[in-house]
Chain A
Amino acid sequence: MINLFLKELRLNRNSFLFCLIGLSAVIILAMFFYPVISSNMDMIKPFLESPMMNNLINAMVPDIANLQSPLGFFATYSGVFSLMLGSIFAIGMSSKMLYMEEKEKTAEFLLAKPVKRTEIFFGKYLSVIVLLSAIFLGVCAASLIGIEMVGGQAPLSVLLSGSNRSALSERVSENETGVSRFFERNEDNFGQFVMSVLSAQMEGNEERIKSIGIDMERVSELLPMLEENPDNLFDYLRNNLDAVSGIVPGNFTEGELVEAIEEREAEFRRMKKVYLNGGKEFDELFLADPEYFLSQIKDSPELRAEFTEALSLGGKFEADVFIKYRPESLILYNFYFYLLTVLFASVGFFISAVSGKFSPFGISIGVVIVLYLLDTFTKALSGIRAIGMASPFRWVDNNVASLSYSPDYLNIFLFLVLSGIFTGAACLVYRKKDILV
């Protein structure tokens, strides 16, 4: 049996590699769209929520908001493709296993050898399972790489987008005690905060700054001084008025310049006072640049939990913004993918065992496509949604972005039992089948 098993592995090596590379490419490439979709969620959302699109989206994700987290995005885009491609590959490869021996008449060679039909069957079956397991591992690796490349590296501003950002500002303004107590604030990091706010304001406003005529080169010369000690900056400006006059176009008198500097300084001192004192007033500063503050607490699970709980933002916010993705959720989702491919492989063997002289490929691919459409169409139409439970695609839990995503043992059991039934039935049929060559 080992002999046969090894031969099947060798014989299917190329199609296996083809499938693995294809799936990995689909997964990784699709993830590159994540930052674009996620950071423009505000723009896309009304479109997605229109009645027509809503039904389509429902077919793919449990909740539109899911698109915002790297995992939810993965399950929506890459997941949809890889489930389909993986299933077609699994059923195509397995239904070919027995059929090709009959069609190419090599069965006459194989069956004249001292092997039991059961051994032939399981030698082939195991080789398919091993290849599918390798694809499972490959898909796990590809999806981790894909997510890590875009999700893992994504700045908080990407993660903190759309509904999450609006929820945050809403909850912060509702909160009575203010959020200052969660963050470390002192003379030293005030400079960094100011810098962060400035760069956040400048980002995306480059055109406007240019049209006013502000000399950015001059400004960037002054910035290091601002970060080091803002107080010194104003003293420096007062003593070097010509440095200021070049920044903004137009002729200003010395008095006007001093006045402007002092005005800014007063504003600045007030801001610093608020920053250091905290209290409700601080919330305004927080909302001016939440990424700056949230990045302070993102690495501490206790602080994160405390913060989201105090503002009652919920687990999804925490998952989206801080955790980005849970590798175990990703593996579990891919494990469902694996179970699905194993089930379709078993179905493929069954179709191939009962199909006689007719090619099983058409039926096999048809089965996958019909079950896939059954799942998606019934998801889109809420009235008949339950009918989709008959499709194994539905048993893949795609609510992967949820923090409470955990194995659904009933579905896993269903996958395993059905795979077993189809495999057993296929083997029984094959054992007593006349092989006409």
Chain B
Amino acid sequence: MSDTLLQATGIEVTYGTTRGLLGKPGGGHKVLHGVDVHIGRGETVGIVGESGSGKTTLGRALLRLVNTSAGAIRFDGADITHLPEPRMRPLRRRMQMIFQDPMASLNPRHTIRRILVEPLLLHRLAADARAAERRVAAILERVTLPAVVLDRNPHELSGGQRQRVGIARAALLEPDFVLADEIVSGLDVSTQAQVLNLLKELSADLGLSMAFISHDLSVIRAVCDRVYVMRHGRVVEEGPCERVFAAPASSYTRMLLDAIPLPEIDPEWLTRRTESEDAA
């Protein structure tokens, strides 16, 4: 059994292809230009880039949420690139996602109980509603949420609590792989630290592989083993975090790192320019 859980090669994603009168596809805007990523078992891989880099699209392509116009995706050895949706569904239990805005990713008209219990029943991880409730109670404790949230709607919870529900939902199905898409952007520094800690613990407990998408290199450093740096739909650098952050090979990575202001006085930071800085 190979060490690689998820392997994507030559991924291309094109949006907005139109069909001409004769059925020939035309137009369209290519968002990913032949991207290769691989994620090993138990590994946390960061995908970093600025807006327009394609990192979010890549994440969704890996989960087969958007269609690829080229390339192949293998999950646990099986080719899932063109797997029809009905055959994809049982696999979905093993590939979960945590979203950036829990306000948008939790249905406002559902209770937390429903949000957490239904997936368990769907995948028959619990025999009945009562068994499901037990498992839900256990995960709530794990993410330090009080049991009272079960009867509430998402808008009645705080931002940090909502994010924990999102994490609980993903972990509940005991997946092999989790995609975390900008899950701490917009959180206070203290809440961010709590969420990152929780994620690391859960990941270790469940032996998760994770793809952590972020625009913030500092956050990536805190949680990831390896990192992919993306720009304009391509991977410009890849490697273990230690190496990439200490000695970046790509000038773009250097520019990204240099642009981050650290909370220490650095009189040259403002005037220091790294190569290939384009004016906005």
- Same complex: no
